[in-house]
Amino acid sequence: MFQLSEQSLQIQDLARSFARDAVLPGAAERDLSKKYPAELVGQLGEMGFMGMFVPEEYGGFGLSILDYVLALEEISYADASLGVVMSVNNSLASSPIINFGTEAQKQKYLPKMASAEWIGCYALTEPSAGSDAAAQKTKVTVAENGDYILNGTKMWITNGPQADVAVVYASMDPEARHKAVCAFIVETASPGFKVGKIEPKLGLSSSQTAELIFEDMRVPKENLLGVEREGFKVAMGTLDGGRIGIAAQSLGIAQRAFDLGLAYAKERVAFGRPISSKQAIQWMLADMATRIEAARLLTWKAATLKDKGERASQACSMAKLYASECANFCADKALQIHGGYGYSKEYEVERLYRDARITTLYEGTSEIQRLVIAKSLIAD
């Protein structure tokens, strides 16, 4: 049984109030217009939610990963698009700099990212490197002065069009796969960087996802993140935290879907009685509530293990797998409870149904999570 601290409860309450008062009212309009929520992102930065576990000496709040999970669920409850912007900046862009960066890198980048003055992205995925992340084709060569030259293309990069800084992975020898991958901190204002196609997506419409193109882009040697040819360790270590973030986002979607389904079931009358009196509807609600509770406990456990510095890859994958599938289940059942109305864009469950679908795909598909879990079981 988890007992949240007073500080954690205060953070949760702050995030919940902001989400429901400032974020939720405009979520439907942003979904339709596909407008990036720049003002809300700035407000998240002012509140400390864009750099939650960035240490205080680098401009963050130095909070726990559990605190981050609590806040991210509340933001995603109101708008999963805003939630993923927050998740990427915290889990995927700031985290590797915290864990693998030099002191100079931390001082230069983390304060700006924590305040949302600069937005971060995580450039790992390529046209031929999705689940097989070791198959990096983006090439890095070393210039005469020791700087690095990047050439290649990334795709499906969340925050790509808005990013001021990107954690980018490239290979010194693509044939060597994970043994030749390097990680870099890239400033997107540098020559040779270009945002390509912005993807038209099924959901998360106000969060922009883009192709990133590197053409003879020079990266200063001091922007190598970690050790040369050991970037794959940076990538895999970072994804554990990213998966906790997507689990929290999934929880927000699932909880919102349940709340809307329950409210509608109590209001909607059919055959002279509220449909909540029907066993078929009751069983849907019972299954939704049970899965949400289980997903939340798995997510909190993974976050707590990470906070303690314990081995957490299995727990992170379990949380991400179960919470994402829970989000899809709950969105589906909430739409079913709404009947034909649920299929209309006038009802919020239609957006939740679309937003939920990506959660079993990014940060590692459900199949990859099962592979990670199985390998850890066999190894033990």
Sequence spans of domains, the chain: 6-114, 120-229, 233-379
End-to-end Cα distance, the chain: 26
Q: How many residues are present in the chain?
A: 380
pLDDT tens digits, one per residue of 159-177: 999 999 999 999 999 999 9
What's the pTM? 0.96
Structure tokens at 67: 């605190």
53, 226 contact by CB (below 8 A): no
Radius of gyration, alpha carbons of the chain:
21
Q: What is the pLDDT of residue 130?
A: 87
Alpha-helix runs per DSSP H in 92-190 = 95-100, 103-114
As given in the structure block, the two tokens for residue 342 are 């649920």
pLDDT for 41 equals 98
The pLDDT, as a whole number, for residue 17 is 98
Nearest to 63 by CA among 249, 318, 303: 303
- CATH code that applies to domain 6-114: 1.10.540.10
Report the alpha-carbon angle 35-354-81, nearest 5. 35
Position 380 scores a pLDDT of: 66
Active-site residues, by number, are 363
61's tokens: 């709040």
Stretches where the chain sits below pLDDT 50 are none
> What is the helix (H) or strand (E) element at residue 157, kind and residue range?
strand 148-158
Element (H, E) at 75: helix 65-78
Q: What is the DSSP code (8-state) at residue 130?
A: S
CA distance 68 to 87: 9
Burial class of residue 39 (count of CB atoms within 10 Å of its CB; 0-12, 13-18, 19+): exposed
Q: Which fold has domain 120-229?
A: Butyryl-CoA Dehydrogenase, subunit A; domain 2 (2.40.110)
Class of domain 233-379: mainly alpha
Tokens of 36: 């990036």
Q: Which pairing describes strands 165-171 and 120-123: parallel, antiparallel, or unpaired?
A: parallel
Exposure string over 71-98, b if 16+ CB within 10 A, otherwise e: bbbbbbbbbbbbbbbbbbbbbbbbbbbb
